[in-house]
Amino acid sequence: MRVLVLGGNGFIGSHVVDELLLAGYDVNVFDKHPEKWRPPFPNVKYFLGNFSDTSLLAESLQGVNVVVHLISTTTPSTSNLDPIADIQSNLTYTVRLLQLMLSCNIKRIVYLSSGGAVYGVPSISPVPETHSLDPICSYGVVKVAIEKYLGMFAHLYDLQPMIIRPSNPYGPRQGHQSVQGAVATFMSQILAKKKIHIWGDGTVKRDYLYVTDLAKLCRMAVEKKATGVVNAGSGKAVSLNEMLGLIKAEMQSDAEVEYTESRKFDVKEIALDNTKARNMFDWQPSISLEAGLALNYEWLKTVELKNLG
């Protein structure tokens, strides 16, 4: 079986590719750039270009049985800056992808949505998949719209979508430009001996998931012909202050913290109920937060040593 991973050179995508290769699948990767941290795999077919490149996207779909869609050109913090561009670069091109899949007779797609942005301000915790979808940022609105189009294509054209709503993934190969990813950002700032910057008072709580656990669920979704929506999270909410305390203990740091005005699109607290994923895929997170932070720190130290060299 051949699997196309859209965004396969990115943070999450590179780990999904690892999982698929270890399981013996043939893999195509479509991405804008080569992978930053490693050279290309000789047994992977790469297609480098923009998601808007219809001809290249169509070429990458040839001979493919399943598509794993991980591409997002925005984050919750950047999407509101230009909602029209968010719609164009994510929603419009995803609908075009679905049309191309139908023309190639590809029915199976695994889509990575969002386990935080689509729910908005939760009324219960942990949040089940049945919670209302009330996003408060363009990123979440577009994710919901894509989910709805997947449902429409499933009803009209027998598409077989599996939607995964992940919490906050972290781990090796995550960027640390302070746009998204508190773990990578905090650790990188500490290694660079910079002051830690936190929006708000640090009491915002999030559900954190080690990236290899998410990648395993994506691989399971490729293998099992189930459809629907599942959350992917730990089921526990951790505040930024608590997270920073764990990181500082792991890195033996006394870094200073600077708190600034909170942002309106930051939900106060969210954790994801992962019961459905446990039942449907016999999946559960295997890496604890403390173990994941230690693994990420070890990886970051090797990156820093390479940069120094």
| Active site residues per annotation | 139
Listed residue (151, 165, 283, 285) closest to 227, CA to CA: 151
**225 φ, ψ to 5°?**
-85, 45
Other C-beta atoms closer than 10 Å to the C-beta of 136 total 17
Written in H, E and C, the secondary structure of the chain is CEEEEECCCCHHHHHHHHHHHHCCCEEEEEECCCCCCCCCCCCEEEEECCCCCHHHHHHHCCCCCEEEECCCCCCHHHHCCCHHHHHHHHHHHHHHHHHHHHHCCCCEEEEECCCCCCCCCCCCCCECCCCCCCCCCHHHHHHHHHHHHHHHHHHHHCCEEEEEEECEEECCCCCCCCCCCHHHHHHHHHHCCCCEEEECCCCCEECEEEHHHHHHHHHHHHHCCCCEEEEECCCCCEEHHHHHHHHHHHHCCCCCEEEECCCCCCCCECCECCHHHHHHHCCCCCCCHHHHHHHHHHHHHHHHHHHHC
Q: Which two tokens stand for residue 212?
A: 């290899």
Distance CA(192)–CA(186), nearest Å, equals 10
- Count of positions (residues) in the chain: 309
Other C-beta atoms closer than 10 Å to the C-beta of 274 total 25
